Amino acid sequence: MNGPVESAMGERARAFARELAGEFDLHIVYRHGSKAVAAWLMLQELVRLKPRVVYVLDMAASGVMAACAYRLLGGARWIVDTGDAIVELGRALGRGSLGMAATRVLEWVGLRCSSAVVVRGSYHKELLAKRGIQATFIPDGVDVEQFAPPKEQKLKGPDDPLVIGIVGSVVWSATRNCCYGWELLDIVAALRERIARPVRGIVVGDGDGLERLKARCRELKLEGLVEFPGRVPYAELPAWIHRMDVCLSPQTDDVVGRVRTTGKLPLYMAAGRFILASRVGEAARVLPEEMLVDGLETGAWVDAILRAMTLLTERIDYTRQHFASEFSYASLGNKVRELLVQS
């Protein structure tokens, strides 16, 4: 697990473990310390546990190095599970030449030296197929019941605040000169001028762009109108999402955006929220037309929200049954089971 216990990938690992318990003897090893230290500690655990298959969650250096080294020492076959085109992502984040060289090596090792590749976006599978790499599509998942809307949830009236929210990593992009959540602030500012109803915003997540995002909030004179709770424990995410009337998922229309499932999309859907997402990646595949937006221009997103406001007084149940079959961990666990048996 290339991350700490409380990370989203930690939840994915534990969800798979719950679904496969009783059939496999499963052990989750989390990352601790710097990359090199974490890789060494992971390798020590692999040597101690002697697994038949190693499943690496996220294509990051520590887990990939540990699994690859263990294989070279005569250990198990290994599978890598990735949700990003890491070379294109590194370029978008403005990494330097040395960082990009290391990222290319990491991607090559992950894709070419592993026994199997799992991707969380269908476009990613197509992209890798063009490079001669066969991948298994297992999207980001959700515990459908954990994120289900409260049974006694009160429907809002026209005078209640319209709450627009977003969940994700607030990582600064030097090439775009912005970060996740930037669009939300511009949308909230624009809507204040367009509707009489109060407008509020929520940005759940943290990262190196958070302080710049807060500065942008002050620049737009939105103090007190937008909440920044930072990173919240996974168990508390449903309550935050249920406060949102509209959940945003803006993505760039490039390889980085198209590859991503966006891990929060299944959470929004299971929570029964109204979603507005860029017409790229998995959002373009599964969401209805009224929830898709072309481009990242603020005006297009504001217009989409204005068109959708008549729908916000209704319970958004458009997906619960569909997503239970496609994105629930119960369903995804079966795909992991098949992959492990084949390995």
**Stretch 55-77: mean pLDDT, rounded?**
94
| Number of domains, the chain | 2
Tokens at residue 83, please? Answer: 């949700």
pLDDT at 247 over 70: yes
Tens digit of each residue's pLDDT (9 = 90 or more) over 319-329: 555 665 688 89
Is the same domain home to 219 and 270?
Answer: yes
pLDDT at 161 over 70: yes
pLDDT band at 93 (very low <50, low <70, confident <90, very high): confident
Residue 103 CA neighbour count, 13 Å, CB half = 17
Is the same domain home to 311 and 333?
Answer: no
Is the same domain home to 65 and 120?
Answer: yes
pLDDT of residue 144: 86
CA gap 81, 87 in Å, rounded: 16
Q: Is 152 inside a domain boundary?
A: no
Q: Is 302 inside a domain boundary?
A: yes
Is the same domain home to 332 and 312?
Answer: no
pLDDT of residue 187: 96
Handedness of CA 118, 120, 125, 127 (dihedral sign): negative
CA gap 92, 304 in Å, rounded: 27
Is the same domain home to 173 and 313?
Answer: yes
Convert the chain into a string of H (helix), E (strand) and C (coil). Answer: CCCCCCCHHHHHHHHHHHHHECCECCCCCCCCCCHHHHHHHHHHHHHHHCCCEEEEECCCHHHHHHHHHHHHCCCCEEEEEECCCHHHHHHHCCCCHHHHHHHHHHHHHHHHCCCEEEECCHHHHHHHHHCCCCEEECCCCECCCCCCCCCCCCCCCCCCCEEEEEECCCCCECCCCECCCHHHHHHHHHHHCCCCCCEEEEEECCCCCHHHHHHHHHHCCCCCCEEEEECCCHHHHHHHHHCCCEEEECCCCCHHHHHCCCCCHHHHHHCCCEEEEECCHHHHHHCCHHHEECCCCHHHHHHHHHHHHHHCCCCCCCCHHHHHHHCEHHHHHHHHHHHHHHC
Q: Is 121 inside a domain boundary?
A: yes
Tens digit of each residue's pLDDT (9 = 90 or more) over 101-160: 999 999 999 999 999 999 999 999 999 999 999 999 999 999 888 998 887 766 677 788
Q: Is 231 inside a domain boundary?
A: yes
pLDDT band at 7 (very low <50, low <70, confident <90, very high): confident
Domain that holds residue 54: 8-141+328-342
Is the same domain home to 239 and 267?
Answer: yes
CA gap 67, 56 in Å, rounded: 7
With 0-12 / 13-18 / 19 or more C-beta atoms within 10 angstroms meaning exposed / middle / buried, residue 257 is: buried
pLDDT at 315 over 50: no
Is the same domain home to 205 and 304?
Answer: yes
Residue position matching structure tokens 């006694």: 152
- Of 61-65, 120-124, 311-315, where does the model show the most confidence? 61-65
Is the same domain home to 128 and 193?
Answer: no
pLDDT at 202 over 60: yes
CATH number at residue 119: 3.40.50.2000
Is the same domain home to 236 and 269?
Answer: yes
Is the same domain home to 185 and 111?
Answer: no
pTM strictly above 0.95: no
Tens digit of each residue's pLDDT (9 = 90 or more) over 14-36: 999 999 998 999 999 999 989 99
Is the same domain home to 27 and 65?
Answer: yes
pLDDT at 330 over 90: no
pLDDT of residue 252: 86
